[in-house]
Structure 1
Amino acid sequence: MHDIITRPPLDTDTELDRIAKHYRSAGGTGVQMLNALGGKAEGLLDQLPANVRDGLTEATERALRLSVQAAQGTRRAVPDQKEWINTAVTTALGAAGGFGGLPGALVELPATTTMLLRAIQGVAAETGFDPATESVQFDCVRVFSAAGPLDFDDGADLGFLSARMTLTGGAMQKLIATVAPKLATALGQKLAAQTVPILGAVAGAGTNFAYTRYYQQIAHVQFGLRRLAVDADLPQDELVLRLRSRMSDQIS
């Protein structure tokens, strides 16, 4: 089965402008939302109990492994939804998890991770790629290697797009092990925001809204560049450099 669906080629500069717009849109939304809730990136993880912090990477890696299977499995029964529906569902999950405090948030974590991955797969399909193929599933997980919205760098670091791993036996497991620590930090910040007394449900809804918006936008960047590399017959690394240059010009 092919991992890409044929469609008319796109103008390179126009498409890079569109991708840059998605990248800019990823930044800011989460920070503004969390700041409105009184949350700040610095010190959020310190608010979590030590035993939760210590086990966060392992729990995230386990949730991501399960989510890879679950997200793909649900595609057979439930069609891809519009991005606003994905955001609404994860927002509701976050509210429910935050209402139950830290125990509820920990229970909600695997469900939210699955929904995030499913939303990323939906963007891949929208861009013309088949999420059932190994290489596309691989890149869906790689989207999580971008910083979370609390650490968004406005284009200073697009290295996650350039880092490539060979698709050999066990590559997905190796990728998950590599992505898990960074994703654990992002989700740890989310969990900490959900422990805010009284505002836990609001914080849970707000952070899930921010993270779903963020990763869907990053997925548009990931698969937009991959698609453009095929259409324009250009190395993806070259396109990443051109995208970085665009971002630098706009923030300088």
Structure 2
Amino acid sequence: MTSSLSKTELAELKRAKALLENPSLAARLSATLGSPLERGMSMLPARFQSTVQKASEAAMMKALDVAVKSIGVENRRKAGVSQDRVHKLAAATSGAVGGAFGLLALSVELPISTTIMLRSVADIAKSEGENIQHIETRLACLTVFAMGGRTASDDAAESGYFAARLAMSGAVSEATKFLAEKGMSKAGAPALVRLTSLIASRFGIVVSEKAAAQAIPILGAASGALINTLFIEHFQNMARGHFIVRRLEKIHGEEPVRIAYLSA
């Protein structure tokens, strides 16, 4: 089947796939820190997964609130090159504070880092031609946090990226409809809780990797800054790839782009 995408668009799609499918944050953290994350995992408290899940859910609820109430207002500047470095610096600063206090600071530091990352994701979305005033676009920004954390229920034959999108699709549609009708007047509404819980379950996988890296005793605050820089860079890559795909889908349709992506 001949693709309707141009050579330039196919090259963009290939770049998007490279960003979205590999390497994992765990691999990058291990390579950068010079220590396997398994070492960090072994140092974590027995019930740390529960702590991570609660922190991830709280971070997603905060991110949803920011996405709905303020992202559209804050991103009215003319679309252009995204300010990735500015957001990395902010995330590094947040990570340095968290690194100084270790895992005890996760519940405080994670919502701050996530909000910084969400603003960066929205900035990238805008640079790829998205209208950040639309609630559907804002939720698309939020779902970026579900990418890069493959779960056991994902179809092994499907790409991790499209598996994540498929898993989110129903919840995103419900939340979009609810927010269009009622806004954030009922933050605990089932449609919103379902979406944030689904995203948090995937986001939590990546947060666990971040927590494991922070548990490795190396440089304290300095390592926290480095880890958070890699953390935000991971989601900036997810965002760039995601919004390249969405841009091409708007031109050629979802199925032709998916087929071209899988064969890229």
Q: Are residues 97 and 17 of structure 1, via their aligned partners in 2, closer, same or farther at CA, if it must alter by over 3 Å? A: same
Q: Percent identity?
A: 24
Counterpart Cα distance in 1 of 2:38 and 2:202: 15
1:134–1:21 Cα change, 3 Å: same
The whole-number CA distance in structure 1 between the counterparts of 2:76 and 2:226 is: 25
**2:246 maps to which residue?**
226
Match of 2:70 among 55, 59, 73: 73
Q: Please give the secondary structure, in 2, of the residue aligned with 1:147.
A: coil
Q: Alignment partner of 1:131: what SS?
A: coil
Alignment deviations for residues 89-139 of structure 1 (CA, whole Å, 9 cap, x no partner): 112211221122222344211101111111111111111212232211221
1:84 corresponds to which residue?
A: 85
Residues 71 and 122, structure 2, Cα contact 8 Å, conserved in 1: no
> Which deviations, in whole Å up to 9, do the C-alpha atoms of 1:1-48 show, x marking residues without a partner?
xxxxxxxxx954422321322442463484344323134344644432
SS in 2 for 1:50: coil
Question: Structure 1 residue 203 and structure 2 residue 204: aligned?
Answer: no
Q: Please say if 1:16 is aligned against 2:17.
A: no
Question: What's the offset of the Cα at 1:243?
Answer: 1.0
Deviations 1:59-91 (A, max 9, x none): 211111112223552664587761111112112
1:125: which partner in 2? 126
Q: Return the alpha-carbon distance in structure 2 between the equivalents of residues 62 and 204 of structure 1.
A: 20
The equivalent of 2:160 in structure 1 is 157
Residue 91 of structure 2 contacts residue 225 of structure 2 at CA under 8 Å; is this kept in 1?
yes
8 Å contact kept, 2:15–2:241: no
The C-alpha deviation readout for 1:139-174, integer Å capped at 9, x for no partner, is 11211121259xxx9x95232244422243354432
CA distance in 2, matches of 1:23, 1:199: 34
Distance 1:243 1:43 in 2: 35
Provide the C-alpha distance between the structure 2 equivalents of 1:240 and 1:44, rounded to a whole number of angstroms.
37
Q: 1:239 to 1:41 in 2, by over 3 A?
A: farther
- 1:38 corresponds to: 34
| Conserved 8 A contact 1:94-1:208 | yes
Partner of 1:142: 143
SS state of the match for residue 219, structure 1?
helix
In structure 2, do the counterparts of structure 1 residues 237 and 11 end up closer, same or farther at CA, with 3 Å as the change threshold? closer
* Counterpart Cα distance in 2 of 1:184 and 1:127: 27
Report the residue type matching 2:220 in the other structure: G
Measured in 2, the distance between the counterparts of 1:222 and 1:64 equals 19
TM-score (norm 1): 0.78
- Separation in structure 1 between the aligned mates of residue 72 and residue 97 of structure 2, nearest angstrom: 24
Aligned with 2:70: secondary structure? Answer: helix
**Could you list the per-position Cα deviations for residues 194-218 of structure 1 after superposition, in whole angstroms to 9, with x for gaps in the alignment?**
1322423233222211121121121
2:217 aligned counterpart, secondary structure: coil
* Alignment of 1:190 onto 2:204: no
Structure 2 unpaired stretches of 5+ = 151-155, 179-189
Measured on the aligned residues, the alpha-carbon RMSD in Å equals 2.9
Cα 1:128–1:39 change in 2 (3 A) is: same
For structure 1, the 5+ residue unaligned runs are 1-9, 247-252
